[in-house]
Amino acid sequence: MMIRYLASTLFLIALVTTGIPAQEVGPPNGALVIVGGAMRDQAIVERFLNLAGGPDAPIVVIPTAGGGDEYDQYWGGLRQFKAAGATDLTVLHTTDRAVANSDEFIAPLKNARGVWFSGGRQWRLADSYLDTRVHEELWALLERGGVIGGSSAGATIQGSYLARGDTRTNTIMMGDHEVGMGFLKNSAIDQHVLRRNRQFDLIEIIEAHPELLGIGIDENTAIVVQGDRFEVIGQGYVAIYDHESQLDSGGLFYFLAPGHRFNLRTREATRPITSQLPIDRVVKEKWPGGD
């Protein structure tokens, strides 16, 4: 499809163009909830629902990354949302881009206040929805103040660079799919980071594309993005990979803990004054811009 080719080409040109500010990041309106996989903390689900407008808000769940042929309204992945009180849930799935461009398929997205991408392989989401009318409706959802969330593959797809996007294996960081949906601009997002000992994996991408911000999110942990800032919630850590920070400190990455905040425009981290959370896992004890 010509639109998809053009978007991909423009993205790759942007990656090597120094004139594009690295700080163009969060969506102007709406919010993102980006989870590192294995989500067990119901507070993350509740935060997503609250951003959507409450448990009665219309929510669309997209399980396509899981690789199943069919998903229906009885799909087990809805249990966490139901447990959090969600009452208006619609499952939307196709692997046919013609269907993804149809009026009937996108109709639920026009009324949704929240959309959730479940886990699996992120390239399946790109193949099915990137640069389709579904993608357009997701941007429209954010524009009207809605929320997009996702876990694991549903996290990585929200970045502009698609980490682990290779169709052969999820161990290839820079594979045959390199373009995400771009809700978080100039970023590469990884998941399951500490649980699967992946904390060094994003370095490959940042070295190849130093203008990108790398964000590695551990399991049962999320970042909540509103504007050009995010907050860490959940039970684990978020790793930040910033080429400029590496040059300043010699550190390859540093960690944020729940309650810590990050300014995506200035690439500076802060933590609550009252926070007693340990930061001794920060690489070389670097805390760029923190207090």
pLDDT digits (tens, 9 = 90+) for 224-241: 999 999 999 999 999 999
Beta bridge partners of 161: 179, 188
Which residue type, as a one-letter code, is found at position 198?
Answer: R
pLDDT given at position 13: 43
243 or 208, higher pLDDT: 208
Contacts for 195-202: CB closer than 8 Å, 24+ residues apart: 195/37, 195/38, 195/219, 195/236, 199/239, 199/253, 200/252, 201/163, 201/173, 202/163, 202/173, 202/239, 202/241, 202/253
Whole-number Å distance between alpha carbons of 175 and 164: 7
Phi-psi region of 196 (alpha: psi -120 to 50; beta: other; left: phi over 0): alpha
Q: Are strands 59-62 and 213-217 parallel, antiparallel or unpaired?
A: unpaired
pLDDT given at position 284: 36
- Asked whether residue 280 carries a pLDDT value surpassing 90, the answer given is no
- Asked whether residue 138 carries a pLDDT value surpassing 90, the answer given is yes
pLDDT tens digits along 266-275: 999 998 875 4
140 or 281, higher pLDDT: 140
- Asked whether residue 50 carries a pLDDT value surpassing 80, the answer given is yes
**Taking residues 85-97, what's their average pLDDT?**
98
pLDDT level of residue 248 (50, 70, 90 thresholds)? low
Q: What SS3 class is residue 250?
A: coil
pLDDT level of residue 62 (50, 70, 90 thresholds)? very high
Closest CA to 165 of 194, 156, 2: 156
Residues present in the chain in total: 291
- Give the single-character DSSP code of 148: E
pLDDT given at position 266: 94
Tokens at 113, concatenated:
């206040």
Element (H, E) at 140: helix 133-143
Share of the chain above pLDDT 70, in %: 84
Whole-number Å distance between alpha carbons of 162 and 190: 9
Whole-number Å distance between alpha carbons of 3 and 41: 39
Angle formed by the axes of helices 133-143 and 122-129, to 10°? 100
How many helices (H) does the chain have, and how many strands (E)? 10, 14
pLDDT tens digits along 142-181: 999 999 999 999 999 999 999 999 999 999 999 999 999 9
pLDDT level of residue 118 (50, 70, 90 thresholds)? very high
pTM reported for the whole predicted model: 0.86
pLDDT given at position 187: 98
- Asked whether residue 282 carries a pLDDT value surpassing 50, the answer given is no
**Taking residues 112-139, what's their average pLDDT?**
98
Structural domains of the chain sorted by starting position, each given as residue range(s) with its CATH number in brackets: 2-285 (3.40.50.880)
When the pLDDT of each residue in the chain is averaged and rounded to a whole number, the result is 88
